Amino acid sequence: MLKKNTLRVIVLVMTILLMVSVALVGCTGSSKEQSNNQSNGSKTENIAEQKKPVELAYWFPHGNATDKTALEKAVDVFSKANPDIKVIAEFVGGSGSGQGITDKLVTAINGGNPPDVVLFDRFMVSQWASTGLFEDLTDLAQASGIKKDMFYEFAINEATYKDRLYAMPFDTDCRVLYYNKKMFAEAGLDPEKPPLTIAELDEYAEKLTKKEGNRYKVLGFIPWLSQGWLYTWGWSFGGQFQDQSGKVTANHPDIVKALEWETTYAEKYGIEAITNFSSASGGDINPFRAGMVAMMISGPWEIAGLKEVKDFDYGVSYIPTPTGDNFNSWAGGWSYVIPKGTKYKEEAFQFAKFMTVEEGAAIYGNDTAHFMSCKDLNDTFDWVKNEPKAKIFIELFPSSYCRPPIPKGQLLWDELATATDKALHGKGTPKELLDKVNEKVNKELGF
């Protein structure tokens, strides 16, 4: 039997050991808790860092109030749907094919600090892609389910260079004949029967022209007014501006015929008299809206402008052809490109996709009364449903051309404009002038 003193000692030792054990457990728990707290704090910081949205610099050159508001609305919708991406929209003045946004964009890309996504004139995509200024979007487009047949053929052609996609087609347009129905009736012409052949166009133009003394009061038609470029008439006459090898064919026989036909107006009505008449309207006045010309080639943007003219009764029709059939047109428009050097190519493409085939495109098209290159969208717009004159544009899009998507597209445009002006002023025959265009542009293209 243990003695009482011994028993007391054992109890005391056990009590001390128990107290030490509890203390150690408490220390260990505090240490784990502190470690966990530190770990949780680190995780919180990492999560905070991960949640910081990617910032995309987005440049657009559309300063028109309606367009600008619609673009900013679309950006807001995208940002709310994609909290991990913050789009910072910036209006950069100038035209995508002029010297406004392009100069700034070249400087930014070459300086290593480009915007991430840009609204850019689709006509110029091939030229810029050929110099390595834009990112190739082919793989991203394929991975995200983008297919070429989602867009009108002319739009995807302009967005492609050497079978690779460098842009996402945005809005679009094409050209038609606008004619003043009141003037038709006054001239004894049926307001519901616009000219369909070139011969009818010539006949109607003469009947609609009004002259007082040596001055024109009204001109029935001026082929080169507004959107009456040589592209317009070259295709109308059945010509082609490029062959399958890629060579420019500005001197195609039917394009030559088109320019020869244009010169007949310069000769018949007098180029100086026409020029003075056009100048009298001033640069800010649309002569068709002002009742100075009875017929004019133009695009869908005229519809909104003509609604502001009181009691203006007009119609829209096909651009006449020599045969009165095989009607066509040509289209332009804008696109979304990703400049070379962006740090956020995938996020930029996500935004570009939203703006071209998703809700951003629907917002812009409906709010601005624009047609979109994503062909399934146009019939869904309220403004299209409520505007009978929109039908002809949608009808013509599948048979519309785009300007040749070549690295020297701007040069070809300028040379064709110069050749047209010289021909109208009798400074060379259409064939001679267009031969020179061919020679110069093809030389620049390496042919």
Both structure tokens of 83 = 């909290």
The CATH code belonging to domain 54-174+331-401 is 3.40.190.10
The helix (H) or strand (E) run that includes residue 301 is helix 301-306
Give SS3 for 129: helix
Cβ atoms of 132 and 342 closer than 8 Å: no
Cβ atoms of 353 and 359 closer than 8 Å: no
The helix (H) or strand (E) run that includes residue 61 is none
CA distance 285 to 291: 10
Cβ atoms of 252 and 230 closer than 8 Å: no
Angle at 166 between CA 165 and CA 168, to 5 degrees: 85
Both structure tokens of 136 = 């190739």
Return the C-alpha torsion angle 319, 320, 323, 329, nearest 10.
-10
Amino acid letter, residue 76: D
**CA-CA distances (angstroms) from residue 152 to 77, 149, 246, 313?**
26, 7, 21, 31
Place of tokens 């935004």: 351
Its pTM stands at: 0.87
Contacts of 306 (CB under 8 A, 6+ apart): 289, 312, 314
The helix (H) or strand (E) run that includes residue 116 is none
Where do the CATH 3.40.190.10 domains begin and end in the chain? 54-174+331-401, 176-318+408-445
- Cα Rg of the chain, angstroms: 33
Cβ atoms of 122 and 151 closer than 8 Å: no
Superfamily the domain 176-318+408-445 falls into: Periplasmic binding protein-like II (3.40.190.10)
Measured over the CA atoms of residue 272, residue 273, residue 276 and residue 281, the dihedral's sign is negative
Q: Residue 17, CB half-sphere, CA atoms under 13 Å: how many? A: 6
Cβ atoms of 247 and 445 closer than 8 Å: yes
Q: Which of 420, 356, 382, 423 is nearest to 145 (CA)?
A: 356
Neighbours of 157 (CB within 10 A): 18
**Each residue's pLDDT tens digit in the chain (447 positions)?**
444 444 343 334 344 334 434 333 343 344 444 444 444 544 444 444 557 899 999 999 998 999 999 999 999 999 999 999 999 999 997 644 445 688 899 999 999 999 999 999 999 999 999 999 999 999 999 999 999 999 999 999 999 999 999 999 999 999 999 999 999 999 999 999 999 999 999 999 999 999 998 899 999 999 999 999 999 999 999 999 999 999 999 999 999 999 999 999 999 999 999 998 887 665 568 999 999 999 999 999 999 999 999 999 999 999 999 999 999 999 999 999 999 999 999 999 999 999 999 999 999 999 999 999 999 999 999 999 999 999 999 999 999 999 999 999 999 999 999 999 999 999 999 999 999 999 999 999 999
